[in-house]
Amino acid sequence: MNLPGTTFRGIAISPARLGMMVMLLAMFLFVANDAMGKWLVSTYSVGQVLLLRSAVALLILSPFLWRMGLAPIRHVQRPLLQFARVVFSTAEVFCFYWAVYYLPLADVMTYWLAAPIYVAALSPFLLGEKVGALRWAAIALGFVGVLVALTPSGEVHPFAIAVSVIGTLAFALMMLTGRSLRGTPDTVLVFFQILGALAAGLVLAPVGWVTPTGADLLLLGTLGVIAMLGHICVNRAVKLADAATVAPFQYTLLPWAVLMGWMFFGDLPTATMLAGAAIIVVSGLMIFTAETRAKAPAPKG
């Protein structure tokens, strides 16, 4: 089905081009969200950030849940796998906010962009997917990139780096369990994901609670708004254009992270981090190309 395009000042914009623009906006929103999170965890605990961010996100999601009804939530399929995904998603977001407190934003973003490498490496064992020679070569290259990025240089926080690796693995496992839950509506998946982070926030927030100022309370709530808008943009982008067109734009996260890290926190990535990031990006694009080719229909003879 071909979706209609749009026009801007009399210039026609195709659905594919509009999808690319929306995907670029989504990546900017995610990095802006992460930069705000890094700023806030310097004052408030990770648990407190999770609590207020998730509460606002749940408020935004409520109208969609109301319109959908409670039946998909009450009669959710594969509850144990749903619970595992919630555990992974909660661990992932906790580790991310914990890591950005100690590490530059671009460094943490580089570690998280390695998640597709872990997904590709684990999918044959956990999902039974076939992985060809090109993907295995890309996976090996990606692990080299991760090792380069992890090479200590400058001010080192070994425990924060370890937390980053754990968070990236949790993110990869969340993606893998999501593949096994394709039949579950996106709204339900997001609802359980937010609920898990909210529950973790309720448990952890009282420890070291700092009463937020009015401005900071607004920022904490805005985290949930921006994150939800980012997910909406990603979903819209893949409806306007196919995944092969928009997915590579996820790597625009890195230059935005470098720019915002420098502007707001005075952080500049080291040469080894940039080299590792470049290898990870190349590996990720190779993996995506191989997967796209594997899913393409065979030519008719």
What is the three-class DSSP state of 116? helix
Find tokens 């990870």 and name the residue: 280
Joined tokens for residue 192: 């359980």
The residue among 36 and 247 whose pLDDT is bigger is 36
Q: What is the DSSP letter of 152?
A: -
pLDDT band at 1 (very low <50, low <70, confident <90, very high): very low
Given this model, what pLDDT does residue 204 score?
Answer: 93
pLDDT per position as a tens digit, 119-163: 888 888 887 777 788 888 988 998 999 888 887 555 568 888 899
> Rounded distance, CA 273 to CA 106, Å?
9
> Rounded distance, CA 33 to CA 28, Å?
9
Joined tokens for residue 95: 């580790």
What mean pLDDT is predicted for residues 18-44? 90
**Percent above pLDDT 70 for the chain:** 88
236 CB neighbour count, 10 Å cutoff? 17
Pick the closest to residue 292 from 120, 140, 174 (CA basis).
120
pLDDT per position as a tens digit, 81-130: 889 999 999 999 999 999 999 999 999 999 898 888 888 888 888 877 77
Query: What's this model's pTM, rounded to 2 decimal places?
Result: 0.82
- C-alpha distance from residue 195 to each of 39, 83, 108, 144 (Å): 24, 11, 24, 36
Given this model, what pLDDT does residue 83 score?
Answer: 92
pLDDT per position as a tens digit, 64-79: 778 777 666 666 778 8
